């Protein structure tokens, strides 16, 4: 966690089907899409966001994303299916009723999430083209 800002993060593990259904229903009303793909668990990472100045908040958003990425790596190693969830978190932040049900500590804002569950997908090593992401070199 960047700058050891552990106290700026909060993890909420959600397996309450009623809550997940309400959240998905709200998302589906916005996108015609069920973002949790039937997964039984959503892990939501929230952070204190001290201001809207990007220079100040970058580490807070990055810390949340890094936590989720580490969970995805661990899930893959354990044979658990996972998927980063972004759009549903955006919609969650627009729904005061759902936010209230989360009972987050004051000032915490949901940043990102991961779904976890059983999968039939097999993870295998694969080649990734070197030019998939544009890269600049400064020598």
Q: How many domains does the chain have?
A: 1
Domain that holds residue 76: 2-117
Q: Which CATH number belongs to the domain containing residue 48 in this structure? A: 3.40.109.10
- Alpha helices per DSSP H over the chain: 17-31, 54-78, 87-92, 96-102
In a domain, 23, yes or no: yes
pLDDT per residue as tens digits for the range 39-61: 999 999 999 987 666 666 788 88
Residue 63 lies in a domain: yes
Residue 34 counted as domain residue: yes
The predicted model scores a pTM of 0.89
Let me know if residue 127 belongs to a domain. Answer: no
For residue 12, the cross-strand partners are 44
Is residue 43 domain-resident? yes
- Within-domain flag for 99: yes
Stronger pLDDT, 92 or 33, i.e. the higher one: 92
């Amino acid at each position: 966690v960047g700058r050891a800002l552990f106290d700026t993060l909060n993890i909420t593990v959600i397996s309450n089907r009623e809550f997940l259904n309400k959240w998905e229903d709200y998302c589906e009303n916005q996108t015609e899409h069920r973002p949790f793909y039937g997964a039984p668990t959503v892990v939501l990472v929230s952070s204190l966001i001290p201001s809207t100045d990007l220079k100040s908040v970058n580490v807070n958003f990055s810390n949340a994303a890094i936590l989720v990425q580490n969970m995805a790596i661990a899930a893959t190693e354990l044979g658990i299916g996972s998927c980063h969830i972004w759009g549903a978190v955006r919609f969650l932040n627009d729904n005061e009723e759902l936010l209230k049900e989360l009972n987050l500590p004051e000032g915490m804002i949901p940043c990102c999430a991961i779904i976890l569950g059983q999968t039939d997908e097999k993870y295998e090593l694969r080649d990734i083209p070197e030019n998939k992401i544009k890269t600049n070199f400064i020598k």
